[in-house]
Amino acid sequence: MPVIDSTQSEVDEILDNLPGRFGREQSSIIPVLQYTQEKFGYLPEPAVIGIAKYCRVSASTVYGIATFYAQFRFTPIGKNVITVCRGTACHVSGCQGLLDELEKLLGIGPDSTTPDLEFTIQTVACFGSCALAPVILINGKVHGRQTPKSTRKLIKKIKAPAEAEESVK
């Protein structure tokens, strides 16, 4: 994927203006990765190279650390994040039906983001709320005992303002 110039310049600006608490050393790699991801929502490729230069280590060292921790992502995340539980309780209660409904509504499967960056669907093994199975999380809010119909309603509610805005254009 080609690197967009604006991303490169944004990364440069962030790294040039890092708060003083981030020393130029190896122990700063994780905090600087976290800080950069907070700014972009993910780690663009120029960030890995820039952080390597900043911390005076190789890009492969930074990449190795970033891929080791599940908290770091290399692709943009959608404005709305839907997390579907695929644990045993949710599986037997119909989580696949929720995923199928989401795919119908958004045109994407698990671990994907819509091209307009409005929605990301991800899955987890268990939220620890099995009594509410099947469970989904939308932008940090838990929705239990879901059915394809109730999930559709939730998504339509999120989409409604964006669609209303579209129709005004």
Q: Which residues bind ligand FES (CB under 6 A)?
A: 85, 87-90, 126-127, 129-130, 133, 135
The nearest distance, CB 42 to ligand FES, in angstroms, is 26
Q: Closer CB to ligand FES, residue 44 or residue 87?
A: 87
**Nearest residue (CB) to ligand FES, 33 versus 84:** 84
C-alpha–C-alpha distance, residues 56 and 59, integer Å = 9
> Which positions ≥6 away from 131 have C-beta within 8 Å?
144
Nearest distance from residue 149's CB to ligand FES, in Å? 19
| Smallest separation (angstroms) from ligand FES to the CB of 86 | 7
Contact predicate 54/24, CB 8 Å: yes
Nearer to ligand FES, 78 or 87 (CB): 87
- Buried/exposed code over 96-119 (b: 16+ C-beta within 10 A; e: otherwise): eebbebbeeebebeeebbeeeeeb
With respect to ligand FES, which residue has the nearer C-beta, 143 or 159?
Answer: 143
The residue (of 84 and 155) whose beta carbon lies closer to ligand FES is 84
Closest CA to 91 of 99, 101, 80: 99
Smallest distance, Å, CB 129 to ligand FES?
A: 5
How many angstroms separate the Cα of 41 from the Cα of each of 20, 36, 38, 77, 86?
22, 8, 5, 6, 24
Shortest CB 138 distance to ligand FES, Å: 15
Sign of CA dihedral 34, 39, 42, 43: negative
